[in-house]
Structure 1
Amino acid sequence: MKFGLNVEKSSQGSFWPSIIVASFACFGGILYGYDTGSISGIIAMDHFKRVFATNQDASGNPFLTSSQKSLIVSILSAGTTIGSFSMSFVGEIFGRRINLIIGCGVFALGVALQSAASAIPLFAVGRFFAGLGLGFISAVVPLYQSEAAPKWIRGSIVSGYQWAITIGLLIASIVNNSTQHRTDTGAYRIPIGVQFAWGLILAGGMAILPESPRYFVKKGMLEEARKSLGRLSALPPDHEFVSEQLLEIRANYEYELSFGSTSFIHCFTNEGRQLYRLVVVTTVQALQQLSGINFIFYYGTDFFQKSGITDPFIIGLITNIVNVVMTPPGMYAVERIGRRRLLLVGAIGMCSAEYIVAIVGVSVSSVVSNKVLIAFVCMYISFFASTWGPVAWVVTGETFSLRTRSKSVALCTMSNWIWNFGIGFATPYMVDSGPGNANLGPKVFFIWGTFCLIAIVFVYLFVFETKGLALEEVDELYEKVSSARQSSSFVPTHVLTEDAKNAEGIVDAEKLRGVEVEHV
C-alpha cells in the first residue's frame, strides 16, 4: 500500500521512474491552462483594448465587439481541433515523445506571432498556430501517460494533467493581475511571452525521457521496447520482470492483430466494441466542455466585470485558486472511489450549483447577490475540479485497445476542442447585450446546468468503470460485460497472459505461472 493506493505486490525494481516520466508529461497541461487563463484577462485589459479595439463607446472608451472577442478566443480552439485530429493520422509515425516536441515548436511559433501583433488579424493567426501546437500536445499527453504509468496509480497520474491545467490557469491569473495596470504593450505582451518558458521546459524534458514501450511494440521495435521498460522500472533490460512485461504487451497486441490490420476506419467498427467506446468517450469530452467550465475561464473576468463586481481580476484569481486546490482530492479519489462514481457525483454537484447561480443572477442585483453568485461559482468549480476535470482525461486515456488507441484518443480530444471552439465562439453572442446578441447574462447557467443533468443520465447508463485494470484488461472488460452498471464488479481473468504461452522470441511463458504481472 502506497499513499492509500493498491500497489502490485509482485512489482519489482522501482515504480518511481515510470511515475516521474508520466507525471512530467503533465506539464503539457500548463501550456493549455496558462493560455486559456491568460486570454480571459488580456481581452479585459484597458491597454489591449486601446491597441486592438476598433470601436468606442459613447464616452470614447475603446471596446471589443462580441465578434472580435469571439474570434480572438475561439480561433485557438479551431487550431487545437485540427491539431488533435491530425494526431489520428500522424500520431504513430514519430512516436509520443517526438510529437510532443513538435507540438511545443508549433506552439512557440504561435506565441511569437501573438507577441509581435498590433492588430487582430495577426494576433488571431498566432492564436491559431498556438492552438495547433496545443492540439498535438493535448492528444498525446494522456496517451503517453497511460502507456508509461503503473496501473495502480495510472488514474491519479493522468488526472495530474488536469491539475497542471488548473495550475496554468492560476499562474496566468497572477501574471495578468500583475500587469493589467501597465500603460504600455507589456500589459499583454508579458503574459503572452511567458508561454515560451512552458514550451521550452516540456520540449527539453521530453528530449531526454523514454518513449512509450507500447509504441515500440506496435512498431515491432522489441529491443527498444525492452530498453524503455527497463528505464521505466529501474531494471536492466534483460531482467526477468522486464521480459514478463514485454511478453504481456506483445501478446495483447498480437491478439488484437489477429483480427486483421488496423486502419482509421477500425475506430468506427464494433469489433471489440470500438465504436461504443468511441461514442462514450467523445460524449464524455463533449459534456465536460458543455458543463460551462470554459465560460468561466475564457470570459470570467469580463462576466464578473459586467455583473457589477468591483474587482473582477481578484475574483478570477480566487476561482483559479479554488480550481487548483480542489483538483488533488479528485486525483486521489479516482483510484479509491473510481471513475464512474466520481463523474456521477460531480455532475450532480455542478448541476445544483449552476442552477443556483442562474436563479440568483436573474432574481436580484445587490452586493449580497453578487457574493452568493461568486460563492456558488466557486462551488461549481470545486465539483468540476475534483471530478469531471481530471476524470474525463483518465477515461479518455485508458478506454481504447492498443491498435486503435492513438487514433481514438486523438478523435476524443478533437471532440473536446470542437465543443471548446463552439462555446468560445458562441458565448459572447449568448451573454452580451446589444443588437444581434441574446443578452442572457447569468441565465446562461441554466443551459450549463441542463447539460450537467444530461451528464448524470449518460454516465449512469453508458460509462464503464476501469479502476484498477491494466490497459490490456480493459479490452476483456468490454468483451465480457454488456452493461456499464455491471462494470464495477468485473474481475479480470488474465486470459491474455495464459494465451501468450505460445508467443515466441521474448521469454518462456511458463515463468508467468503464479505471477501477477504489473503493467507499466
Structure 2
Amino acid sequence: MPPARATDVPEMEEVSTQGVRDTSLRANWRIIAVTLYIGISLFEYGFDKGAIAGFQAMPGFLQVFGYQSSSGTWNIQSTPQQIISSFMILGAFIGALLTGPVGAHLGRRHSMMLSSFLLIVATVIMAVTTSFGALYFSRLLCGIANGFLLNFSMVYLQESAPPYMRGLCFGVVTSWITIGTTIGMIVNKATADIMSRQAYQIPLYACFPAPAILILTLPFLPESPRWLLNHGRPEDALHSLRFLRKGAYDEVALQQEFEEMKAIAAREAETQKDWRLIFELFRGTNLRRTIICVGVGTANAGVGAMFILAFGTYFFKIAEVGDPFLWTIITNCVGLAGLMLTWVFVTRVGRRHLILTGCLLCTICMLIMAILYTAPGLSPHNAGIGLVVITSVYLFGFNFGLEPYVYLVAGELPAQNLRAYTMGLASGVSFVFGWICAFTTPYFINKTSLNWGPKYGYIWFVSGLIVSAFVYFMLPEVRGRTLEEIDEMFRNKVPTRQFEKYVCLEIEEARGRGAMNARAFGKEHLMEDKPVLAHVENASKV
C-alpha cells in the first residue's frame, strides 16, 4: 500500500490535533523517575556481568574452583570456565523464552518481583557453596532470573513511555547495565587480593540490595496500561496512563492516546492461558516483525560482544599490560561515555543509524585487533597496549549504538498481544548466540587449546559484516511513532524506507475519538461541579 497523503486524512484530524503534549524533561519527570527506578533491575544484570567475569582471575575464587600450577600461580580449567560463563546465558535464554507466557499470567510488575526472589536465592547458593554442581545450578538460576528482569523491565518501559521519550528512556535505563558492570568491576578490584573465599563472596553479597528493593517497592508501581487493557481492565489502564502522563498531557492528549491503545486492544486481546499464541509470531505480517526483531536482537552477539565482555579481564591478564582489573574498569567507563552520548542523538538521529554505526564500529575494531596480533615485528607489549585501545573503542561503539537500542527495537516493533513473546524470543536467540560464543571461546583463546588469543577477532569481523548488512536493508526507522502507529504500518505492509513519512489513518481516527471523549469528560466534570443545590436538596430528602 502506498503511503497515505496528508490530504487523505478525514476531517476528524482537525479535532485530533487539539491534544497538548509537553515533551520537556520537566513535564515528563514521572516517566523519567519510572525509568530510573526500572533501571535498578538492569543494574543487577550489569553487576553480575562485571563481578562474575572477574572471578576467573581471583586467587580466592580459584583456590576453591581452580588449580595451582607448578609455578605457583592459580588458574582454572577450560570446562569450569565454560560452564560458569555459559550457564548464566543458558538460564537467561530459558527466562527469555518464558517471558511471554509468564507475563501473560502475572503481568509485568509481579514477574519482576518473582525474578528478584529467584535472584536472591541464586546469589545465596553461589556465595555459600563449594560444590561445582551447586555453583552451576546457581548460575543457571541466576540466568533465568536475569532473563526475566531484563525482558520484563524492557517490556514495561516500552508499554509505558510516551513515543517521543521512548528512545531516551531506553538510553537512560540501559546505562544502568554499564553502571552496574563498572561497579561490579570496582568491587572486584577492591577484593581481588583477598586470599580467601571472601574475595568473591563480598561482591556476591553486594548483589542483594537491588532485588530486595524491587520486591519491597514494585507493589506501589502502576501496572503497564497496555497490559491492563489487553486483560479487560480499561478503568485501571486509564488510571495507570493518567499517572504516567500527568503533567505532560492535557486531557485531550490523554484520551487520544488511550483511544489508540483501545483500538489495538479490541483487535488483538492478549490470550492469557493459550501457549499456542507463540505460533502467531510466524504468521502473516507478524513474521516480518519477528525476523527483524530476532535479527537485530542478535546484533550484540553477532559483533562478538561476549568475546569482549566475558573474557576481557582474562585477556588483559595474559597480555601483561598491568592490572587487568584496572584496565577493565577504564575500558568499561569509556563504553559508559559512549552510552551517555547517545542520549543526545537518539531523539534526533533515530535508532536505525545508531545501531548501524555501532555495528560497523565494533566490526572494524575486531579486524584491527586481529591484525595487531598477526602483524610481524610487533612486540607483545605494544600489542597489549593496542588491545587496550581497541577494546576501549569497541566498548564505546557497542554502548553507543547497540546495547540500548537492540532491546528498544525488539520491543517496539511487535504487535501488542505478542510484544512479550517477541521480545523474549529475540532475547532468547541472542542469548543462544551469546552462549555459543561464551562456551566455545575458551577453546580458541585458552593456552591449553588452540591459543588464538585476540586473533579470534577475524571470525567476528565477518560476522559483524553480516549483521551490519541485515540492519541496513531490514530495519525501519520508527523514531517518534507510537506503538499503535508502528502496528498499523506493519499491518499495511509499508516498505522499510517509507516508515518515516507514512500517515496512519486509523490512528488519526482514534485520536479524533479521544478528543471527543475528552470533551465529554470535561462536560461531565463541569456538571459535577455545578449542581451544589441539588446535592443539598437530595440530602434534605434523606
TM-score by length of 2: 0.86
Deviation at 1:376, TM superposition (A): 1.4
Deviation at 1:340, TM superposition (A): 0.9
User: For each residue in 1:52-97, what CA deviation from the matched residue of structure 2 results, as whole angstroms up to 9, or x when unmatched?
Assistant: 12x4423244421111100111111111111111112121111111
Is residue 286–residue 416 contact of structure 1 (8 Å, CA) maintained in 2?
Answer: yes
Deviation at 1:164, TM superposition (A): 0.9
C-alpha spacing 1:238/1:325, structure 2 compared with 1 (3 Å): closer
C-alpha spacing 1:237/1:222, structure 2 compared with 1 (3 Å): farther
Deviation at 1:366, TM superposition (A): 3.1
Structure 1 counterpart SS, 2:320: coil
C-alpha spacing 1:500/1:309, structure 2 compared with 1 (3 Å): closer
Alpha-carbon distance in structure 2 between the residues aligned to 1:283 and 1:245: 30
Is residue 228–residue 237 contact of structure 2 (8 Å, CA) maintained in 1?
Answer: yes
User: For each residue in 1:2-48, what CA deviation from the matched residue of structure 2 results, as whole angstroms up to 9, or x when unmatched?
Assistant: xxxxxx97127942212321332122211111101111111110111
2:398 to 384, 406, 425: 384
1:174 is aligned to 2:196: no
Is residue 252–residue 518 contact of structure 2 (8 Å, CA) maintained in 1?
Answer: no
Deviation at 1:332, TM superposition (A): 2.8
Is residue 79–residue 135 contact of structure 1 (8 Å, CA) maintained in 2?
Answer: yes
The two structures, once aligned, show a CA RMSD in angstroms of: 2.5
Is residue 230–residue 270 contact of structure 2 (8 Å, CA) maintained in 1?
Answer: no
2:297 to 266, 272, 285: 285
Deviation at 1:161, TM superposition (A): 3.1
Alpha-carbon distance in structure 1 between the residues aligned to 2:294 and 2:310: 22
Following superposition of structure 1 onto structure 2, how do residues 203-214 of structure 1 map, counting pairs within 5 Å? 203-214=215-226
Deviation at 1:335, TM superposition (A): 1.6
1:41 is aligned to 2:54: yes
Structure 2 gap ranges (5+): 1-17, 521-542
What is the one-letter code of the residue matched to 1:376? I
Is residue 117–residue 123 contact of structure 1 (8 Å, CA) maintained in 2?
Answer: yes
Alpha-carbon distance in structure 1 between the residues aligned to 2:148 and 2:289: 22
Name the residue aligned to 2:109.
97
Alpha-carbon distance in structure 1 between the residues aligned to 2:506 and 2:516: 17
1:454 is aligned to 2:451: no
Is residue 72–residue 120 contact of structure 1 (8 Å, CA) maintained in 2?
Answer: no
C-alpha spacing 1:15/1:52, structure 2 compared with 1 (3 Å): same
Is residue 33–residue 169 contact of structure 1 (8 Å, CA) maintained in 2?
Answer: yes
Structure 1 gap ranges (5+): 1-7, 513-520
Is residue 334–residue 391 contact of structure 1 (8 Å, CA) maintained in 2?
Answer: no
Structure 2 counterpart SS, 1:95: helix
What is the one-letter code of the residue matched to 1:475? D
User: For each residue in 1:324-374, what CA deviation from the matched residue of structure 2 results, as whole angstroms up to 9, or x when unmatched?
Assistant: 111011233122111111122222211222211110122233322221221
Is residue 143–residue 397 contact of structure 1 (8 Å, CA) maintained in 2?
Answer: yes
1:25 is aligned to 2:38: yes
Alpha-carbon distance in structure 2 between the residues aligned to 1:231 and 1:266: 32
Name the residue aligned to 2:415.
401
Name the residue aligned to 2:89.
77
Following superposition of structure 1 onto structure 2, how do residues 243-254 of structure 1 map, counting pairs within 5 Å? 243-254=255-266
Deviates more, 1:99-108 or 1:26-35: 26-35
Name the residue aligned to 1:498.
509
What is the one-letter code of the residue matched to 2:95? G
C-alpha spacing 1:307/1:9, structure 2 compared with 1 (3 Å): farther
Q: How many residues align?
A: 495
Deviates more, 1:99-108 or 1:233-242: 233-242
Structure with max Cα Rg: 2
Alpha-carbon distance in structure 2 between the residues aligned to 1:494 and 1:482: 13
1:334 to 343, 346, 359: 346
Structure 1 counterpart SS, 2:404: helix
Following superposition of structure 1 onto structure 2, how do residues 73-472 of structure 1 map, counting pairs within 5 Å? 73-234=85-246, 241-256=253-268, 263-270=277-284, 273-363=285-375, 364-434=378-448, 437-472=449-484
Deviation at 1:301, TM superposition (A): 0.8
C-alpha spacing 1:448/1:205, structure 2 compared with 1 (3 Å): farther
Structure 1 counterpart SS, 2:21: coil
User: For each residue in 1:267-325, what CA deviation from the matched residue of structure 2 results, as whole angstroms up to 9, or x when unmatched?
Assistant: 1112xx21111111111121211212222221111111112222111111111111211
Deviation at 1:384, TM superposition (A): 0.8
User: For each residue in 1:353-400, what CA deviation from the matched residue of structure 2 results, as whole angstroms up to 9, or x when unmatched?
Assistant: 221111012223332222122111111111111001111111112111
Alpha-carbon distance in structure 2 between the residues aligned to 1:161 and 1:241: 25
Name the residue aligned to 1:4.
none
Is residue 255–residue 518 contact of structure 2 (8 Å, CA) maintained in 1?
Answer: no
Structure 2 counterpart SS, 1:44: coil
Structure 1 counterpart SS, 2:374: helix
Name the residue aligned to 1:515.
none
Identity, % of aligned positions: 27
Deviation at 1:494, TM superposition (A): 4.2
C-alpha spacing 1:93/1:257, structure 2 compared with 1 (3 Å): closer
Deviation at 1:407, TM superposition (A): 1.2
